[in-house]
Structure 1
Amino acid sequence: MPTISMFYGIIIRMYCAPEEHNPPHFHAYYGEHVAIIDINSCELKEGFLPKKQLKLVLAWAELRQEDLLADWKLAMNSELPFKIEPLK
């Protein structure tokens, strides 16, 4: 699962497999915590992140939603997604 962005100790990854389940989503990692974020709604779908990190990830997802959807399309075609600008 390639890393598409990293910021403030948070790692954002997306699976590259046509069989990956909808809706479009990405995985956010912070320490031992893992969360799955829905790209369309920019909401937590599964898992857990500490409150501060979750707010950062959701804000980043809203700002980068178009890029995330483009990466999702690539990933569903078994292509590597592009890196996405981190939150600064």
Structure 2
Amino acid sequence: MFYGIIVRMQSERGGKHNVPHLHAVYGEYEIVMSLSGEKLEGSFPGKQQKLLVAWIALHEDELKANWQLLCEGEGYFKIEPLR
């Protein structure tokens, strides 16, 4: 969580998104973003979406590693928030 943005990643075997992605919530807004920063679904206020995209870019390797762990049925590790 950073700047009121809650980020989560979950395993979605057979889910509707076939690309590695994360889910984020900010107040009543929800968005699904690919690990390359592309919006897949939902919406966010402009400033918060820019912050989320910047965080994804900074932590892309860690996010990909977490995605792989989740796909293998393993746990995940926490990633530093944007400061």
TM-score with structure 2 setting the length: 0.90
2:38 to 36, 39, 43: 43
Displacement of 1:17:
4.5
Which structure is higher in RCO with an 8 Å CA cutoff and minimum separation 6? 1
Alignment partner of 1:59 is 2:51: no
Distance (Å, rounded) in 2 between the aligned partners of 1:37 and 1:60: 12
User: Structure 1 residue 33 and structure 2 residue 29: aligned?
Assistant: yes
Q: Which amino acid aligns with 1:33?
A: Y
How far 1:77 moved relative to its partner? 1.2
1:76 correspondence with 2:65: no
> Is 1:14 equivalent to 2:13 in the alignment?
no
- Report the aligned-residue RMSD: 1.2
The structure 1 residue matched to 2:19, chosen from 19, 23, 39, is 23
1:23, CA displacement in angstroms? 0.4
State how many pairs are aligned.
82
Please, what TM-score do these two structures have when normalized by structure 1? 0.86
- Note the residue ranges of structure 1 that are not aligned, 5 or more in a row: 1-5
Structure with greater proportional strand content = 1
